[in-house]
Amino acid sequence: MTSPAPTPAPKSLLGETDLWLFGQGDHRRLWDVLGSHPRTLVGADGKQQHGFVFALWAPNAQRVAVVGDFNDWDASRHVLQAVDAGVRAVFVPGVQPGALYKYEVTGADGITRSKSDPFGRYHEQYPGYASITQSPSGYAWGDGGWMADLAHRNLRDEPVSIYEVHLGSWMRSDPAGDTGGSVGVDIGGDHQPLSYREVAPRLAAHVSELGFTHVELLPIMEHPFGGSWGYQVTGFFAPTSRYGDPDGLRFLIDTLHQAGIGVILDWVPAHFPGDEHGLGRFDGTALYEHEDPRQGTHPDWDTLIFNYGRSEVRGFLLASALYWLDEFHLDGLRVDAVASMLYLDYSRGEGEWIPNKFGGRENLDAIEFLKALTGVIRDDFPGRAIIAEESTSWPGVTAPLEEGGLGFTLKWNLGWMHDTLAYFKEDPLHRGWHQDKLTFAQLYEHSERFVMSLSHDECVHGKGSLLSKMPGDEWQSLANLRTLLAYQFTRPSKKLLFMGTELAPRREWDHDLSLDWDLANDPLRSALHRYLSALAHLYREVPCLWRGDGNPGAFEWIDCNDKENSVLSFLRFDPGAPARNGVPDHVVVVLNMTPMPREDYRIGVPVASGRYDLLLDSDAREFGGSEVDIPRTADVEAVGCHGRPGSMRLRLPPLAALVFAPRG
């Protein structure tokens, strides 16, 4: 189209307060100011002109022009003018929603680069990478009750079981658009990902059936390389257009909320890729990143590191986090790669990093940014969780800001994941020598508020699937997997499982392929699906398994020293329930880590009389278990054992977990 001559961009296009807050790094709705926005202005002839304002931060650029399909991609037509605080803007009459545009930025170095809009809310896919103008969303949300309740919730005090999802490979359709009907139908591994709207009812139904409380989405911010799984972001305000438009994502989240499922999004403020159209050398200088590669380049991922010491960069990232919470009704964010932000020497050798002003390795600017982030979310979005993927022993990640902590709601317990999987990989004959791998995590359990994750990271790069890590033949591998899941769901802390665990594939996850839904037709996999559903529902329905997560008195080992038999047993107490005969409400968990059944195995219990009911037997036939019959009840004998006043004699099935509760 041929557009009218642009109206010069006076300071009135952008408010002085907005620009001041941007300069301070504290504009909490920055996406309403920068980027492209529809406006109606009165032209020099007194007539109203409808179009878009384009506003960009590029303080060191020699020249910036907006080009698009509205001006034949002609950089001479619409040059942005300086406003204040390094921001430039222009009003272009006649531009409609859905127009493609880019910025032609002639940098301080004299090089002209074609850039996507850092605040663009929708981008096209390869090879164009143009941003796309958008009207304000008119999506009609249906989750009002959920959102009203969310403001009064705290994930620390609830049962939390998270189903981690990579949208592009959860389920795929064929090129003709056949989505294969309901979940569980094999629709082909190398076809097209479902759209946000297509996946919404299927994912909601599947997660509801399994009994998980939340879905966690691997990053769905726009990213150029699918093989990064979304962790190398170029569009920090844009849902990827691979799966549809922004309202499609709203529909997905709304659908999950209406099904009673919370939604957490992986968010990546630690680094960004160096793609030409992205943030790197944006105005011919290291605008968003550090100039010195010892600070500005990530050696592990060949990406660029944000300069957290620059107020405008902090404000950009803060606004991105708030944008996703506000515009998409998210229940929380999981912050990726926090350890790489905290340490200046992360993955660097001697001489490859620059100490802080005190000579230390702590990234003081990143620490202050993270504290500001968690504080603002706590104050502006009560009830929303912010979860750290932090792999070191940095103290106080989940401690309150007032106590000097970083203020996160929860932290991934990657040490537990590593040690637990190392134990389960061992041949059961040798597990007695490695039992400390299971018991060690309890020594630091209350140093933070944790999520026990068995995530996508353990199903890639040659690590194989969860099932492939389990020793033994097919039956033993599945029995080991059931026991692993029981251990995860019955010990303290929140839970996270990567999608497809319920199908127990042998092959490693591939982001370009659908999950192996055809495995659901296998009787043993179908039984595992039923088991995981029963386990997840049991976890939610029995407060002993979650209410005391942060209470040191809510967990006690009964016996963690029987290395000869590789049997572990423990108690989970509900500190919120009234005690009966001086004993808090509780459950007993017994794990037999070998394929040998155990007869008359005595377990100490905190009462001297009564009866316990069996709540879960991972070896039950309906779950694909063995022929070992387990009585549904166990009587307490007044025989002291394990320092307890009473005990039960149990039959322990092979490679199995049992959960008992005292009869009321």
Give the residue numbers marked as catalytic.
336, 389
Sign of CA dihedral 629, 633, 635, 640: positive
The single-letter DSSP state of residue 508 is P
Sign of CA dihedral 300, 305, 309, 313: negative
CB 37 within 8 A of CB 52: yes
Instruction: Concatenate the DSSP letters of all residues of 21-89 into one string.
Output: HHHHT--TTGGGTSEEEEEEEE-TTS-EEEEEEEEEE-TT-SEEEEEETTTTT-TTT-B-EEEETTEEE
Q: Are strands 494-498 and 450-454 parallel, antiparallel or unpaired?
A: parallel
Q: CA–CA separation, 315 vs 293, rounded Å?
A: 22
Sign of CA dihedral 545, 551, 557, 563: positive
CB 33 within 8 A of CB 237: no
The single-letter DSSP state of residue 194 is P
**Which of 159, 243, 137 has its CA nearest to residue 200?**
243
**Which of 38, 269, 3 has its CA nearest to residue 135?**
38
C-alpha distances in Å from residue 379, one per residue of 195, 475, 660: 34, 50, 41
Q: CA 521: distance to chain centroid? A: 29
C-alpha distances in Å from residue 613, one per residue of 72, 489, 589: 75, 19, 12
Instruction: Concatenate the DSSP letters of all residues of 247-289 into one string.
Output: HHHHHHHHHHHHTT-EEEEEE--S-B---TTSSTTTTSS-SSB
CB atoms within 10 A of CB 134: 21
Q: Give phi and psi for 519, each to the nearest 5.
A: -65, -20
Instruction: Concatenate the DSSP letters of all residues of 386-422 into one string.
Output: EEE---S--TTTTS-GGGTS---SEEE-HHHHHHHHH
Helix (H), strand (E) at residue 494: strand 494-498
Q: What angle do CA 383, 385, 218 make, to 5 degrees?
A: 140
Q: Are strands 494-498 and 555-562 parallel, antiparallel or unpaired?
A: unpaired
C-alpha distances in Å from residue 80, one per residue of 42, 166, 339: 19, 39, 39
Q: Are strands 161-165 and 214-217 parallel, antiparallel or unpaired?
A: parallel
CB 431 within 8 A of CB 487: no
Residue 291: both structure tokens together: 């100039």
> 641 forms bridges with which residues in the sheet?
644
Q: CA–CA separation, 597 vs 626, rounded Å?
A: 10
The single-letter DSSP state of residue 214 is E
